[in-house]
Structure 1
Amino acid sequence: MHPPPTAEAELAAELAVVRPALGPRFTAALPGARAAVLTRLWRALVHEPLPWITRREESGGECLLRLADGRRLHGPLPDPYATAARVTQVRLDGVAHGDPARLMTELGVPHASGFAAELAHSVASMALSRAGQEPGTSLLRDPDEWPVHDWEWEQRVVDGHPYHPNCRSRPGFTVAEQLAYGPEHRVPVRLGLLPVPADECLVSGEWPGELRDGDRLVIPVHPWQASHVLKRTCERGIDARPLMSLRTLALPGDRHVKTALSTRLTSSVRDISVGSVTSSAVLSEFAQTLTPYTGGLLHMTRTLGAATAHSPDLAAVLRESPRVYAAPGEHVVPVAALAGTALPSSPRWLADFTRLALTVGLRLLELGVALEAHGQNLLVVLSASGAPLRLVYRDLADIRVGPARLARHGVPLPDRLPERIRTDDVTALRRKLFGSLVAGALAATAGSRAALGAALETAVRDLPRSPDLVALCEEPLPAKALTLMRLSEGTAGDRWAALPNPLSTGIF
């Protein structure tokens, strides 16, 4: 009996049919994709509180992990904030492994088989994403080279999440669908426009007139969702440009639409809950009241309207584009796309950007609002020469709000604010901001522990001393334990790792 084909072989076979010219580039990209995913996995094994790893220690210039069953896993000493690191193999009881999916299979821990399949898909999809880039694509060094459209910035992010092993896992997508819908492949997507009787829909905010048809609402539907989940075709459609989240797209004009996509991308199923539609307007209204507290350094994109046919599978959210907050000559860039420019290589620029981000984040945290400020949600407004001027934040669904802190500062708490985002737990509030902004957006922009530590050291000198700032400087840095969460099926909620503080020394 022959073994089942691997994800790499399956994708290569599909590619040979739908885009044979990409085949050699896909094959050439596979070793780098395996190393990129293995690097993310090794980071997780070293730093996340996985219950089957009993001890971590430095041994002979390497990291040694002792497993609960007595086995030992060796690999390089990892920088938990590095983005350009390349781990090509680790050794499990002396046997070298360079394929992250096979390593996870050999580890054989609970839920390993499902996670291994996701890792295999992540490798194959990343290789496809890299193969789809034009040869010679290089770092943007001159602002004159910068993209004109906001969606062009988003489509420069090729590898996905900088630290998640499932950075490019797209289960349920064929090769043809990845090439058609993946933002890194830079193809316009024809969204379906599905009419639904208005009395069968729930609307939050204002649903625009051009998306109404008499007594029906017209809901934008992603073509993958229409085909695989709704099992129907849409007679009408509109061309849009996919953004880095894949299910959010730029419409003509200054609007973005978040569509339902009922499959697991990275960690989460990307449908749109009825609750999130219900709360979208009140969250948007609340967010607009926060800008004055930042001295105009932060703008929150407004939710223009949200609609659902009382199903997470058929819903859409319309938001204004972040670019509406840019003056002529300025650029609005997702933080995740900054690594594709020469800006972060300047220590001064990195310190200025870090100071701006921490000033805004800590000011709102003191007020009682913790942003989920990772590199996708957070954007920076740059001057024509690239100086960081202001920030823009989008997607309010996962912020956390502390009622006690708000009350202390005299900020009204909306009655209809969702209960799930309310918490006075200071640890939960700090984890939300520090984990997304510092261990996420700033770390990935800096690209290494040394660069992040230097930027933080310079930036914090100018910030008001507060208990939150002291915690940021002196305590381990929280980060979502993304691998632990994928290996904890049936356990709801975020899980956390404690990373070594970049302002201090020590590996663990």
Structure 2
Amino acid sequence: MHRPTTAEDEVAAELAEVRPGLVSRYLAELPGARAAVLSRLWRALAHEPLPWVTGRESGPDGLTLRLRDGRRLDGPAADPYRTDAYVDAVRLAGCAYGDPARLMADLGVADGTAFVAELGHSVASLALSRAGQPDDPDEWPEQDWEWEQRVVDGHPFHPNCRSRPGFSVAEQLAYGPEHRPVVELALWPVPAGRTLLTGAWPAELRDGERLLLPVHPWQAAHVLKGRPERVLGGARPLMSLRTLALPGGPHVKTALSARLTSSVRDISGYSIALSATLSAFAESLAARTDGLLCFTRTLGAASADSPDLAAVLRESPREYAGPGERVVPVAALAGTGLPARPGWSAAFARLALTAGLRLLELGVALEAHGQNLLVVLDGRGDPLRLVYRDLADIRVSPARLARHGIAMPELTGRIVTDDVGALRRKLFGSLVAGALAGTVGSGAALGAALETAVRDLPRTGDLAVLREEPLPAKALTLMRLSPRTPGDQWALLPNPLR
């Protein structure tokens, strides 16, 4: 009986057609990619509130999970903040599994079919991403988009870190930022009178009474299914893939109706309508951080009455770097060697927590994960200040703003909440369990950095909760396995400060 064809096989076959010289490197990268994805999956199995895991027992030989169907799943001790590929196999009912997709398939959980396929895609795409890397990369890139393209492995904790179902190998090579392509965007004409527009729209993206919306080429081919009249060349994809740096100008976030990691990356009318208000509000907040935090301005946002045809133009973060300074996405810091310098991680954590907790006290919780948050470094690599981009998923508390005499902007919907728990989960889950943990790479290193960082911070109620209570993190696997449960779900992780 033949072995079923897997995503790894499919990518190998396509690669042999479009880039045959890369096949051997791809095959060599597969074992490491499986371990990287399995390590992320093991973290989820060990720490997320999955309903079919009925018990967890730690022992000298590692961790045992007791499953609802009576089986046991055994693996190593699971550090929820560890980012290296330390799990090469686990044992389900005594049988060893090194392939995360095969493990998930044999677990046989409800609503798991799509997730199994995505795990297979994640492994194959991760191996492809690693195979395409230069042997001797430049240590310190000069361009902002070059820093973005150094993030090869994707999300440090999501098992679907490189899942791109719907993308052929040729499309991954053509559009994936880690492959360093130059992309030609379609310019889609839309009558101005039928467009939801906030902010300004540049003259070069207008054609008489029509707006020209930048459209990702994958979206143009697979969703809009049309040929554009005009194109805009020279765009460089950033780590989010659908956001690109335009030549000599701003960044553009495009709609991309494909499921990347967990979510379909379209752009809602809600986000378009609030973008100008949020941008102006963020500028006023920056003045309250004593120069610790800047926000990239949203220049314009437009939608043709569809989440599949929309675009947001915003400043490049490099606008907030002075001579001799570099702006680096936090997700790229782990590959720089900076976190290993004595005192560096504590200094960075102090900067990030000072800014994040100050805004939280005022009434704004940032989604400060490693993609949205950037750090400005001086010529020695020391952290100076932060830059934040993409305001679409922050949370704003009217009650906290009022307590500090700050006028509530005209916001509605999911962004607005006075739920203190929701505000703290938003910041702590993204900044501490996400950005900071992903930078230092282990619970011990995170605890050491935080212990030094929090000593001199103002003693607020938010800081007390951060110091004493379990640390929230999005339960990314549970969310993917719960298609009928809207919104975020959460895991509570051991507090590295305790």
Query: Per the shorter chain, which TM-score range?
Result: over 0.9
Secondary structure of the corresponding residue to residue 491 of structure 2: strand
1:192 corresponds to: 186
1:116 corresponds to: 116
Q: Distance in 1 between matches of 2:96 and 2:474?
A: 28
Identity %: 73
1:293 corresponds to: 288
Q: Distance in 2 between matches of 1:118 and 1:390?
A: 37
1:361 corresponds to: 356
Shift of 1:462: 1.0
1:105 corresponds to: 105
- Are the aligned partners of 1:347 and 1:451 in contact in 2 as well (CA < 8 Å)? no
1:126 corresponds to: 126
Shift of 1:2: 4.7
**In structure 2, which of residues 140, 145, 151 is the aligned counterpart of residue 146 of structure 1?**
140
The alignment's C-alpha RMSD in Å is 1.0
Q: Distance in 2 between matches of 1:153 and 1:235?
A: 32
Q: Distance in 1 between matches of 2:319 and 2:477?
A: 37
2:208 corresponds to: 214
Q: Distance in 1 between matches of 2:497 and 2:272?
A: 40
Q: Distance in 1 between matches of 2:464 and 2:378?
A: 31
Cα deviation, 1:80-117, whole Å, max 9, x if unaligned, reads 11112420000001100000000000000101221110
Q: Distance in 2 between matches of 1:202 and 1:450?
A: 49
Q: Distance in 2 between matches of 1:242 and 1:113?
A: 30
Q: Is 2:378 the counterpart of 1:376?
A: no
Q: Is 2:24 the counterpart of 1:31?
A: no
The AA in structure 1 aligned to 2:492 is: A
- Are the aligned partners of 1:81 and 1:439 in contact in 2 as well (CA < 8 Å)? yes
- Are the aligned partners of 2:41 and 2:158 in contact in 1 as well (CA < 8 Å)? yes
Shift of 1:3: 5.2
Q: Is 2:15 the counterpart of 1:20?
A: no
Q: Distance in 2 between matches of 1:500 and 1:279?
A: 36
Cα deviation, 1:418-450, whole Å, max 9, x if unaligned, reads 321111111100000000000000001011111
2:417 corresponds to: 423
Q: Distance in 2 between matches of 1:196 and 1:361?
A: 39
Shift of 1:362: 0.3
**In structure 2, which of residues 472, 475, 480 is the aligned counterpart of residue 481 of structure 1?**
475
Secondary structure of the corresponding residue to residue 490 of structure 1: coil
Shift of 1:136: 4.0
1:394 corresponds to: 389
2:59 corresponds to: 59
Q: Distance in 1 between matches of 2:37 and 2:405?
A: 47
The AA in structure 2 aligned to 1:7 is: A
How many aligned positions are there? 497
1:45 corresponds to: 45
**In structure 1, which of residues 302, 305, 312 is the aligned counterpart of residue 300 of structure 2?**
305
The AA in structure 2 aligned to 1:152 is: E
- Are the aligned partners of 1:352 and 1:459 in contact in 2 as well (CA < 8 Å)? yes
- Are the aligned partners of 2:365 and 2:394 in contact in 1 as well (CA < 8 Å)? yes
Q: Distance in 1 between matches of 2:249 and 2:389?
A: 14
1:348 corresponds to: 343
Q: Distance in 2 between matches of 1:452 and 1:6?
A: 37
Q: Distance in 1 between matches of 2:335 and 2:43?
A: 22
Secondary structure of the corresponding residue to residue 344 of structure 2: helix
1:155 corresponds to: 149
2:444 corresponds to: 450
Q: Distance in 2 between matches of 1:202 and 1:384?
A: 43
Shift of 1:202: 1.0
- Larger deviation: 56-65 or 459-468? 56-65
- Larger deviation: 429-438 or 109-118? 109-118
User: Which segments of 5 or more consecutive residues in structure 2 lack a partner in the other structure?
Assistant: none
Q: Is 2:195 the counterpart of 1:201?
A: yes
Secondary structure of the corresponding residue to residue 32 of structure 2: helix
- Are the aligned partners of 1:65 and 1:74 in contact in 2 as well (CA < 8 Å)? yes
TM-score (normalizing by structure 1):
0.97
Q: Distance in 1 between matches of 2:426 and 2:485?
A: 19
- Are the aligned partners of 2:35 and 2:85 in contact in 1 as well (CA < 8 Å)? no
Q: Is 2:494 the counterpart of 1:500?
A: yes
